[in-house]
Structure 1
């Protein structure tokens, strides 16, 4: 029943948003295209195959950069949280690059890595890595010392403590970092495709902007939102399965 209620509220929110959008365009208060116009343009692009090609290009870049960034971020975050010397060496660099927008790194990446897929994947990798490494590190340092001390009293070695205490307790933080990293990855890929790309949803928006093709811009935005939402829901489901032991506060 609670699950059905959440679904109904989500559907109601979606319908309300579409209704407000339609009302704004119908009343003439906005220059935005109507939902029907955007839907027709989406069908046109889907039938021609252009929409699927752009979605695949952007999704491929996001997945490669996000997976590589996350895979590196987890062990680096554990090192920073577990070993003080690693934290002193790595943390200044992490904080340094965190304050630099990925958009500012794109020109440098293009000059040094070329104009193919490498610079786009690199900036996505960097965005995902920086988001995930901080969350992983925070998860390690936030582990209750009582658990660690209790494990030591029972004779557990550092290896056992790390595997059976630190990693499980840090998992919620890691998965939150993944969710933030996904958002950063999608924001970065659009920026990268706006500057140097021949395909992708960001590239398609740039081309549509030149011709004031608002429906195509909306189609690309909606496609990004749908893909991002699906990926986020996958991470949420993984979080529910991996952290089912964690006590949760529910507001149903």
Structure 2
């Protein structure tokens, strides 16, 4: 009589044939969505309460009315397009430059010794402090705006990429060498996959830095953009318009962050998660 090895037993399934872990994940996603909605409702309720108590805040209804006006006349759409163009371009260029520089610093000790002091030096200088220099050197068109955003994203991502290469498990590299792998093969098959989670963390931090730098970047002779609209509203004490800009930046940043997180999960599906 053949005995069944318990270690090879079929995974637990539900009555519908769906694995139990998958059902638990779906249940948690539903619960997480409900908690997100509850959090939003509580936040708006707290905002309304503060406004009714006399704090200098517009009510959610006033902000919604102002948002409707800006949407109706096309102003909000134009501002969103202008800001998105600057952020996406600066972030994309910053990430594209940061990843190879981070790999270079992490893989070659000589490159690290040459480049790292400059990276650490510029990290101590806020990107906003570069604005006067950017205006003098690049003028007042789109170039200095994108450059400041590029710098913010680059400095966040390059450090994460460098740290990812440095933290690769040395045992994996040694095992690959024992099996006869050359440096290029080790770099492509071991270092890059092991560093990918760090790169995505750096990209998410860089994306946040890019949006955080946007408002200041649009001080440079901008004629449109969410930051520009908020700066103009400040002159007239137009709080609803300022809140519309803040909420728009927050929503756009959140959506882009979630898209990055989705890509990360697909690319690093092999990584164990809690």
Q: Same fold (TM over 0.5)?
A: yes
SS in 1 for 2:273: coil
Aligned twin of 1:129: 154
Please, which runs of 5 or more residues in structure 1 have no aligned partner? none
- Greater helix fraction, Structure 1 or Structure 2: 1
1:195: Cα distance to partner? 4.2
Q: If you compute each CA radius of gyration, which structure gives the higher value, 1 or 2?
A: 2
Question: Where do residues 171-186 of structure 1 align in structure 2 (5 Å cutoff)?
Answer: 171-186=196-211
Aligned twin of 1:246: 271
147, 150, 154: which is aligned to 2:179?
154
1:218 is the counterpart of 2:223: no
Question: Where do residues 193-208 of structure 1 align in structure 2 (5 Å cutoff)?
Answer: 193-208=218-233
1:21 is the counterpart of 2:47: yes
Aligned twin of 1:5: 31
Q: Is the 8 A contact 2:153 2:210 kept in 1?
A: yes
Structure 2 length as normaliser, TM-score?
Answer: 0.89
Q: What does the per-residue CA deviation read over 1:140-196, in whole Å, with 9 as the maximum and x for residues that have no partner?
A: 000000000000011111111000100000000000000000011011111111343
Q: Is the 8 A contact 2:145 2:220 kept in 1?
A: no
Q: What does the per-residue CA deviation read over 1:9-66, in whole Å, with 9 as the maximum and x for residues that have no partner?
A: 11111110000001111222x1100000000000100010000101110100000010
Q: Name the Cα RMSD after superposition.
A: 0.7
Question: Where do residues 31-42 of structure 1 align in structure 2 (5 Å cutoff)?
Answer: 31-42=56-67
Q: What does the per-residue CA deviation read over 1:81-139, in whole Å, with 9 as the maximum and x for residues that have no partner?
A: 00000000000000011110111101110111000000000111111111110000000
Separation in structure 1 between the aligned mates of residue 136 and residue 213 of structure 2, nearest angstrom: 17
1:199: Cα distance to partner? 1.0
Structure 1 length as normaliser, TM-score?
Answer: 0.97
Q: Is the 8 A contact 2:44 2:60 kept in 1?
A: yes
Q: Which runs of 4+ in 1 moved over 3 A?
A: none
Please, which runs of 5 or more residues in structure 2 have no aligned partner? 1-26
Separation in structure 2 between the aligned mates of residue 7 and residue 180 of structure 1, nearest angstrom: 24
Separation in structure 2 between the aligned mates of residue 20 and residue 196 of structure 1, nearest angstrom: 36
107, 132, 152: which is aligned to 1:82?
107
